[in-house]
Structure 1
């Protein structure tokens, strides 16, 4: 069973918005470290960014997959294809985070990390929009 806030569009949207705003702020801090040639600090920020995506967005995604999505499909089988698409978005985000981890393990501090973060943010924005406008509008709760 999913948490009650996952089924409430306003609360659910707030969860997404807060996590995305934090991610954007962290990306700006990382970008400033690159501009200031603070490689060691950039590596520390990169670690925090990865932790942020894993503990905020990807944990939330896991909760959606284990609870909300299953409940929504049980209540309305017509959303099954949409749930498959939304789950695929989560998989793409996990893969991008894995690529970020590889860069961190190699101690790579460059624009490639920012490109990956931008990709994550874009996928997450589209995903959140689809969830709010296609999945949760169908819910009668």
Structure 2
């Protein structure tokens, strides 16, 4: 069973926006470190950024999959295809974060990390829009 804030469009949107804005700020900070040649700081920012994606966005995704998506599909079987798409978005984000973690094992951070972060942001923006405007559009429980 999902928490009540996941079912309310405004509250759910706030959760998404806060996490995404923080992720964008961390991405920009990483870019600044790379431009300034601050390698050690870039590694630290990359580690924090990965932790952010895991603890905020991906934990939230897990809660959606375990509760909200199942409940919404049970109420309206017509959303099963959409739920599958939204779950795929989560899977893509998980895979990208895992790629970032593997790359960070070398203790070097470069422009590819920024590209991966940009991919995460784009997927998350599309995902959030679909979730709010397709899944929760008519749900104000």
- TM-score range relative to shorter protein: over 0.9
Q: CA deviation at 1:4?
A: 0.4
Return the alpha-carbon distance in structure 1 between the equivalents of residues 68 and 106 of structure 2. Answer: 37
| Match of residue 85 from structure 1 | 85
Q: Once the two structures are superposed, what CA deviation does each residue of 1:12-71 show, in whole Å capped at 9, x if it has no partner?
A: 000000000000100111111101111001000000000000000000000000000000
Matched residue of 1:31: which SS? helix
Q: CA deviation at 1:140?
A: 4.8
Q: Which runs of 4+ in 1 moved over 3 A?
A: none
Are 1:60 and 2:60 an aligned pair? yes
Query: Structure 1 pair 32/42, CA: closer, same or farther in 2 (3 Å)?
Result: same
Question: Unpaired runs of 5+ in structure 1?
Answer: none
Question: Unpaired runs of 5+ in structure 2?
Answer: none
Q: CA deviation at 1:139?
A: 2.1
TM-score (norm 1): 0.98
What are the residue-to-residue correspondences of 1:117-128 with 2, within 5 Å? 117-128=117-128
TM-score (norm 2): 0.98
| Match of residue 107 from structure 1 | 107
What are the residue-to-residue correspondences of 1:1-141 with 2, within 5 Å? 1-141=1-141
Return the alpha-carbon distance in structure 1 between the equivalents of residues 140 and 56 of structure 2. Answer: 27
Q: Once the two structures are superposed, what CA deviation does each residue of 1:79-109 show, in whole Å capped at 9, x if it has no partner?
A: 0000000000000000000011011111121
* Structure with more contact order per residue of length (Cα contacts < 8 Å, sep ≥ 6): 2
Return the alpha-carbon distance in structure 1 between the equivalents of residues 78 and 114 of structure 2. Answer: 37
Matched residue of 1:137: which SS? coil
Matched residue of 1:109: which SS? coil
The number of residue pairs the alignment matches comes to: 141
